[in-house]
A and B are shown apart, each in its own frame.
Chain A
Amino acid sequence: MSKDNHMSEEILSLKGVVKSFPGVLANDHIDFSLKKGEIHTLLGENGAGKTTLMNILYGLYTPDEGEIFIDGQKVIIHSPADALSHGIGMVHQHFMLIPNMSVCENIILGNESKKRGLIDEEQATGRIETLSEKYKFSLNPGDMVKDLPIGMQQKVEILKALYREATVLILDEPTAVLTPQESEELFEILRSLKDEGKSIIFISHKLKEVLEISDIITVLRDGKAIGSVRPDQTDEGHLANMMVGREVILKVHKEKMHKGKPVLEVNDLTVFDRRGVSVVNGINFNVHSGEIYGVAGVQGNGQTELVEALTGLLPFVSGEVIIDGAKIEGDNPREVFERGTAHIPEDRHKYGLVLPYPIRDNLVLCSYYHKPFSKRLALNFPVIIEKSSKLLKEFDIKASSILDITETLSGGNQQKTVVARELGREVKLLIAAQPTRGLDVGSIEYIHKKIVETRDAGCAVLLVSSELDEILSLSDTIGVIYKGQIVKTLSSEEATKEQLGLLMAGILEKT
């Protein structure tokens, strides 16, 4: 490749950037520089401060300290408008698309050309089609964004930046929502953009792909820049060490499974999402006691609704669900709870916790109503206090007392609170949805350990995760979900990442 001729000029750099949020120093004197025509990766685990740094560069956050230079000139970026005018485009971790608007409207927003006072849609459509063809995106400007699959939505985001003729493109964890094959496709696009002379900041915490795509890798940890390395001078173990600051055991320790009788049986279950669209389409699978059944799939293939239906948050449209030998009615979380089901919800802030409550109240959120936590109409505080203090210790939640407000806890401790509540009683079935999303490595290890312990105690575990590595390392059996159906079930020994990726994309045929 024509590396050396244009890779020397530095086009952008950040010097001594500091940004703090209440209680966290998200960026601590970070230096970062980007050269023309390179793919520069920011690597770091969740909460390391990658998104914060990029949001500062993009004008969304104001830094407490630090300077930004573009083409050697010091600039002050007050707002995204400033960033855009310097040719910086960003694809955010959580897409900034408006579901109720068309692809065209989303792309031209903020950059509309006018004709006689009105928006010139014809011209915009033309430009979008040209660009889309050039990069082989096959996007239709008239489609509504909410009807597009997640991979296509990402292309809309990229096109949004290209439409504005960005020369620097920031992609914040773009592969988190893609299958391995889709990621490959994205890398092809990134390489061709690089060949055009565009510079790319690529953010990830996945070591393999980082080694594959980057020209240079800068590692962030706890808000500090640890160092920069070239991919040919490093390997996975070294990067992991830089990222976490200690030796990481990449493998979860797990005994052989002792599979028992089926605890969860799902037969021909169909579920509609809240808009009334059928997203789970006659799904079938069983989870046995002593087994971890992992559901692998690209986000948006019905996983969320499947879990919500199984836990009583969404009604069944048809089909049946049997928990521990008895059929359940559905649409009633308490019914499921009383059958001995624990549920670690996907969105702990939405479902799992009442953030303004003290930890104590969150620990009895599901059991407050029965003995011994209440007597007739009144709550029985002595028992509640005793139980919650016990859970606090047992599950190692770091807080000064059970009266600490849950909101003030770190993400890891909040998730431990959920886990403590759900596993701190007799359970036969654990349904864990994205149990480690957004957590630091320490908490991830803790939660993985708990899930394996639960399985070893003879409980059935349904694990839904969009992290393929998590599925592969924890599951005994893997079911691949595609368009609301399990397209293949395989044992974890025989599964490979590549095969799963193809299945998740709906490419290998059903069996």
Chain B
Amino acid sequence: MEKSNYKTIVFSALTIILNLLIIRFSFRFLGQDLKSIIGFGKLGSISVFTGRTIFILACLGLAGSIFPLVRRLEKFINLSFFVTAFVAVATLILWAGIDSKFDIVGLLALSLRLSTPIVLGALSGILCERTGVINIAIEGMMLTAACIGFTAALYLGNIWLGLICAVVSGAVMSLLHAFLSVTMITDQIISGTVINILAVGLTGFIRRSFLIRARLSRTAILPIITVPLLAKIPIIGAIIFTNQPIVFMMMGLVALITILLFKTRWGLRTRSIGEHPEAADTVGINVFKMKYQNVMLGGMLAGLAGAWFSLETTGSFDDLMTNGKGFIALAAMIFGKWHPVGAFTGGLIFGFSDALQIIFQIKGIPIPPQFLWMLPYLITMVVLAGVIGKSTPPAADGKPYIKR
């Protein structure tokens, strides 16, 4: 009881301070008649007074964060947190929108696109961890797949074959993870670390031995697909139905894996192994086979995520190009409580923060870019700290299953 009160006070204090800072910040614009232009894709745009809007929003945010303190209600912490986060983001958007249109639809479309590898990575994590295998090697699998996919696309001259090779290479790396952690009963975090280090060496080796020396650096990227009719729906059409293939696959996989996990025989068995492998074993389920199968499926998803970097985005491969996204994917998975839809939401938040950072940089907002780059990592830490609420992993997650 005492503790939660303490938590409420600390949290409210933080959100109150942040809101006050925003109010203080709004004074910069209050004197001047500055206007922000917010665009909504093809629907047009509106313009509002920057200073006043920020001021009013922050006052609402302040009210929202004082509320739980007055009522001493812990359950409103989340509310005040979200309200404050919304106010902060809106402030940034209004600031960026001064005198030059800030397109919300563009922002959301970019967010969805940037969330793709994170969501796929998180799905990969879900498949592994629901069968009780912790996978911190998503990063390494993605990196390997990005490299192999790109190399294959170059050498085979077909980007779709490259995509397939990326997925296969993810599966191969995950086979190693399964072998080490399921058969060899290696600590799963160490096994994952081995793969991450191996991936750095392997991809660097391939890049310097084959790609740079052969002066190969670029390929085409996967084409944009416009879904007939649906793409014409205002706003949604531009955000969801006009995208590259891996983004579509990501959305489809979220739905598919949700159904598979909670409605089918495979899903029930998978979940049972993650919760209690002995119980699964005693009803005749082949625990080892399922673990291998799911870890490898997870590897394929990570491979798809890797292909997003080289084949869907840049058309090239760089050292360490996955840049910690594999770990952010794990945070999204935890945020989403090991549920595909939750992970999708988590991934979107990270994609959103990434998109904000890119747009701000393009708009030349005077925040040092280094701080914007830090944003996703900071959010990850906040998420992990359980600010959004407790998230319990499958009961047997990370525990090796030893059979006599």
Is there direct touching of A and B in the complex, by C-beta distance under 8 Å?
A: yes
Residues of A in contact with B (beta carbons under 8 Å apart) = 21, 55, 58, 60-62, 79-81, 83-85, 90, 92, 96-101, 105-106, 108-112, 114, 117-119, 160, 317
Q: Return A84 CB to nearest CB of chain B, in Å.
A: 5
Contact yes or no, A100 B275, CB < 8 A:
yes
Is A118's CB under 8 angstroms from B282's CB?
no
Which of B265, B284, B395 touches A119 (beta carbons < 8 Å)? B265
| Contacting residue for A81 out of B264, B271, B279, B284, CB 8 A | B284
How far apart sit A52 and B404, CA to CA, in the bound complex (Å)?
A: 11
B 261-273 to A, binary, CB cutoff 8 A, 1 in contact else 0: 0011100110110
Please name the residue on chain B nearest to A108 by beta carbon: B268
CB–CB B265/A61 < 8 A: no
Docked pose: A364 CA to B275 CA in angstroms: 36
Q: With A98-B276, A109-B269, A112-B268 as given contacts, are A84 and B263 in contact (CB-CB < 8 Å)?
A: no
**23 A-B pairs (CB sep. < 8 Å):** A60-B404, A79-B281, A79-B286, A80-B283, A81-B286, A83-B284, A84-B283, A85-B284, A98-B272, A98-B275, A98-B279, A99-B276, A100-B275, A101-B272, A101-B275, A109-B279, A110-B280, A110-B283, A110-B285, A114-B264, A118-B263, A119-B264, A317-B1
Residue of A nearest to B284 (CB): A81
- Name the B residues within 8 Å of A79 (CB-CB): 281, 284, 286
* Chain B residue contacts of A96, Cβ below 8 A: 276, 278-279, 282-283
Cβ–Cβ < 8 Å partners of B283 in chain A: 80, 84, 96, 109-111, 160
Q: Which residue of B lies closest to A81 (CB)?
A: B284
- Contact for B268 among A80, A84, A119, CB less than 8 A: A119
Cross-chain contact A118 with B264 (CB below 8 angstroms)? yes
For residue A17, give the distance in angstroms from its CB to the closest CB of chain B: 14
Considering only CB atoms, which chain A residue lies closest to B283 in the complex? Answer: A110
Among B264, B269, B279, B404, max chain A CB count under 10 A is at B279
The answer for the CA separation of A55 and B259 in the assembled complex, in Å, is: 35
A317 to B284, CA, bound (A): 43
> What is the CA–CA distance of A441 and B1 in the complex, to the nearest angstrom?
46
Output the least CB separation between A87 and chain B (Å).
Answer: 13
Name B267's closest neighbour in chain A (CB-CB): A119
How far apart are the CA atoms of A58 and B284 in the complex, in Å?
10
| Shortest beta-carbon distance from A197 to chain B in Å | 24
- Residues of chain A lying within 8 A (CB to CB) of residue B285: 81, 109-110
When each residue 384-404 of chain B gets 1 if its CB lies under 8 Å from chain A and 0 otherwise, what string results? 000000000001000000011
Please determine whether A109 and B263 come into contact, CB atoms closer than 8 angstroms: no
Q: In angstroms, how far is the closest chain A Cβ from the Cβ of B290? A: 11
Residues in A with CB closer than 8 Å to B282 are 58, 60, 80, 90, 92, 96
Chain B residues with CB below 8 A from A83, complex form: 284
Q: Which residues of the partner chain A approach B284 to less than 8 Å between Cβ atoms?
A: 79-81, 83-85, 110-111
Q: Are the CB atoms of A61 and B404 closer together than 8 Å?
A: yes
| Contact assessment for A117 and B264 in the assembled complex, using a CB-CB cutoff below 8 Å | yes
Contacts of B263 in A (CB 8 A): 118-119
> Among the listed B265, B271, B286, which residue makes an inter-chain contact with A114, where contact means beta carbons less than 8 Å apart?
B265
Contact of A109 among B259, B278, B280, B404 (CB under 8 A): B280
> Which of A100, A110, A117 interacts with B269 by CB under 8 Å?
A110
Q: Knowing that A101-B272, A109-B268 are A-B contacts, what are 17 other residue pairs whose CB atoms are under 8 Å apart, sorted by A's residue number?
A: A58-B282, A62-B404, A84-B283, A84-B284, A85-B284, A96-B276, A98-B275, A98-B276, A99-B276, A101-B275, A105-B272, A109-B285, A110-B283, A111-B283, A112-B268, A114-B264, A119-B265
Interface residues of B in 274-320 (CB under 8 A from A): 275-276, 278-286
Smallest CB separation, B362 vs chain A (Å) = 46
Task: Tell me which of B263, B265, B403, B404 has the highest count of chain A C-beta atoms within 10 A of its own C-beta.
Answer: B265
For the complex, give the distance between the alpha carbons of A110 and B263 in Å: 14
Residue ID in chain B nearest A97 by CB atoms:
B279
Residues of B within 8 A of A98 (CB): 272, 275-276, 279
Residues of A contacting B278 in the complex (Cβ-Cβ under 8 angstroms): 96
Tell me how far the C-beta of B288 lies from the nearest C-beta in chain A, rounded to whole angstroms: 10
For the complex, what is the distance from the CA of A232 to the CA of B257, rounded to whole Å?
A: 60
10 closest A-B pairs by beta carbon, nearest first, are: A110-B283, A81-B284, A96-B279, A112-B265, A96-B282, A98-B275, A98-B276, A118-B263, A61-B404, A80-B284
Cβ contact of B272, chosen from A90, A109, A111, A160, cutoff 8 A: A109
Closest beta carbon of chain A to B245's beta carbon, Å: 25
B286 partner residues in chain A, CB cutoff 8 A: 79, 81
In the bound complex, how far is the Cα of B275 from the Cα of A80, in angstroms? 18
Query: What is the minimal beta-carbon distance from B6 to any residue of chain A, in angstroms?
Result: 14
Nearest residue in A to B278 (C-beta to C-beta)? A96
Interface centre among B264, B271, B283, B286 (most CB of A within 10 A): B283
Q: Which residue of B lies closest to A85 (CB)?
A: B284
How many angstroms between the C-alpha atoms of A351 and B348 in the bound complex? 42
How far apart are the CA atoms of A117 and B263 in the complex, in Å? 9
A60 and B281 CA atoms in complex are apart in Å by 8
Kindly state the separation between the CA atoms of A447 and B310 in the bound complex, as whole angstroms: 67
From residue A36, how far is it (CB to closest CB) to chain B in Å?
24
Instruction: Find chain A residues with CB under 8 A from B281 CB.
Output: 60, 79-80
> Chain A: which residue is nearest B275 at the CB level?
A98
- A83 to B282: give the CA distance in the assembly, Å: 9
Q: Tell me how far the C-beta of B260 lies from the nearest C-beta in chain A, rounded to whole angstroms.
A: 10
Residues in A neighbouring B276, C-beta threshold 8 A = 96-99
Of all chain A residues, the one with the shortest Cβ separation from B287 is A79
Residue of B nearest to A118 (CB): B263
A318 (CB) vs chain B CBs: closest residue: B1
Q: Is A100 a contact partner of B395 (Cβ separation < 8 A)? A: yes
**What is the CB-to-nearest-CB distance from A315 to chain B, in angstroms, rounded to a whole number?**
9
